[in-house]
Amino acid sequence: METIILDLGAINGQVSVQIIRKNIKNVHLKVFRNLDVVLSVPMTVPSDWIDSFLNNHIEWIDDQITKYKKSSGYNNLSSIRSGSSTQLLGKDVRIYKEASLIDRVELDEKKVFIFLRDISDEEQAQKLFDQWWRNTASDIFQSETEKLYQKIFKKYGLNQPKILVRKMKTLWGSCTPSKDKITLNEYLLKADIRCIQYVILHELTHLIYLNHSKDFYSFLTIHMPDWKERKKQLDNEVVQGL
């Protein structure tokens, strides 16, 4: 896997850009809320072109990293601290650790409480939070998929796909029609429910149209006329992308 180091200057310093070569036609540059920078390019793009492209976008990358660092919702979910925050369904929530007789996680409006028998056990706190986050994502994604399947796709005689949830670096979701399977990024739980619905509809549509053809986007527009606005909201509020 290729990595390029960019120098963003005195404030944000050096940043590693992960280069992913894929069977795609377009270039995608993304800065994630955990401050990862990923550039996806077609397989045949030469290295000197990549260098030039990144140098032309240093200011943009620097702006996005600065924006995320200033955001009250910044948290990469991999280092939970009491008082830190993250996004959950489009809203900023604070995370707190509390002493308790039973290890558990509870959501109370804009607060997530991690209750621990040993409040100093950082590993257990992280484990509890990670499991709670993935279970919550799975429940919501499954519910929204069920609604869209029943409303739109069942009449086509398609099987309702199995929903898998996992961490994904560069995708919000993927569809494997041959296995009736859709995989969704657990970080999608950070997004507003309207954005989650867009991603799920996008992946469900691949059960009918394998590629991003004209018919694919026509189908998407018929069943979700504002999908472009939802996608833009997802890009602007959860991950910055070109």
Question: Which of 23, 40, 70 is a domain's end point?
Answer: 70
> Could you tell me where the DSSP H helices lie in 80-192?
122-148
Question: Which of 70, 102, 121 is a domain's end point?
Answer: 70
Predicted confidence (pLDDT) per residue in 16-72, tens digit? 999 999 999 899 999 887 788 999 999 999 999 999 999 999 999 998 888 777 654
Examine the domain organization and report whether 8 and 55 are in the same domain. yes
Owning domain of residue 109: 85-133
Question: Does position 242 have pLDDT exceeding 90, yes or no?
Answer: no
Separation CA 90–CA 76 (nearest Å): 15
Q: What is the CATH number of the domain that holds 198?
A: 3.30.2010.10
Examine the domain organization and report whether 147 and 237 are in the same domain. yes
For residues 146-174, average pLDDT: 93
Examine the domain organization and report whether 96 and 46 are in the same domain. no
Handedness of CA 19, 25, 31, 36 (dihedral sign): negative
Is residue 75 included in any domain, yes or no? Answer: no
Q: Is 17 within 8 Å of 39 (Cβ atoms)? A: yes
Separation CA 206–CA 176 (nearest Å): 8
DSSP structural state of residue 210: S
Examine the domain organization and report whether 38 and 118 are in the same domain. no
Is residue 9 included in any domain, yes or no? Answer: yes
Q: What is the mean pLDDT of the chain?
A: 89
Question: Does position 6 have pLDDT exceeding 50, yes or no?
Answer: yes
Structure tokens at 182: 């859709």
Is residue 38 included in any domain, yes or no? Answer: yes
Distance of CA 150 to the CA centre of its chain: 25
Is residue 191 included in any domain, yes or no? Answer: yes
Structure tokens at 241: 């992308």
Examine the domain organization and report whether 13 and 41 are in the same domain. yes
45 residue type, one letter: V
Is residue 79 included in any domain, yes or no? Answer: no
Is residue 62 included in any domain, yes or no? Answer: yes
Is residue 77 included in any domain, yes or no? Answer: no
Predicted confidence (pLDDT) per residue in 209-238, tens digit? 999 999 999 999 999 999 999 998 887 777
112 residue type, one letter: V
Q: Is 204 within 8 Å of 152 (Cβ atoms)? A: yes
- What's the pLDDT score for residue 73? 40
Examine the domain organization and report whether 61 and 99 are in the same domain. no
Distance of CA 76 to the CA centre of its chain: 11
Percent of the chain residues past pLDDT 70, beyond the cut: 93
Q: How many domains does the chain have?
A: 3
Is residue 78 included in any domain, yes or no? Answer: no
pTM higher than the cut 0.85: no
3-state helix, strand, coil in the chain (%, to 5): 40, 30, 30
